[in-house]
Homo-oligomer: A and B are copies of this chain.
């Protein structure tokens, strides 16, 4: 009955507050450019790319450099406030709503990335650690395929 919309852990507002606090509490300045980037990350549900963030920020501050986007993302990564999905073949994508490892489903045609609900990773991590002797710190799980929209257009 209820939608297939995926509610984040917290709403965008709360996430923005968390990010701002993470910066402020460590003495980082809240500049207009940074604020704009944080807002985009906190509100977006589509795992934006560096380019798309840059485009959005430039709509408000036209002189914004690409380097500023990269710098801010690097900072947020260090503070654990954003999850980077790095890809070998194309640019990275970022999740500011769930800055911790979680599965993703990626459309290989249009590039859409969505967050499925899932829990079973923790048990699997446990098993892996047990069997291999590794002390596992994090993981990355991507599913690839065609989204419903792109299936129609086939």
List residues of A whose CB falls within 8 A of some B CB.
4, 86-89, 92, 103, 105, 107-108, 114, 116-118, 120, 124-125, 127-129, 131-148, 151
Contacts and interface: CB of A to CB of B under 8 A. Distances in A.
* Copies of this protein in the complex: 2
B88 A92 contact: yes
A105 B140 CA distance: 10
A146 to B, nearest CB: 5
Among the interface residues A86, A132, A137, which one has the most CB atoms of the partner chain B within 10 A? A132
A150 B28 CA distance: 34
21 contacts: A4-B133, A86-B88, A88-B92, A105-B128, A105-B136, A116-B128, A118-B127, A118-B128, A120-B120, A128-B143, A129-B145, A132-B147, A133-B148, A135-B151, A136-B144, A136-B145, A137-B146, A139-B144, A140-B140, A141-B141, A141-B142
Nearest to A144: B138
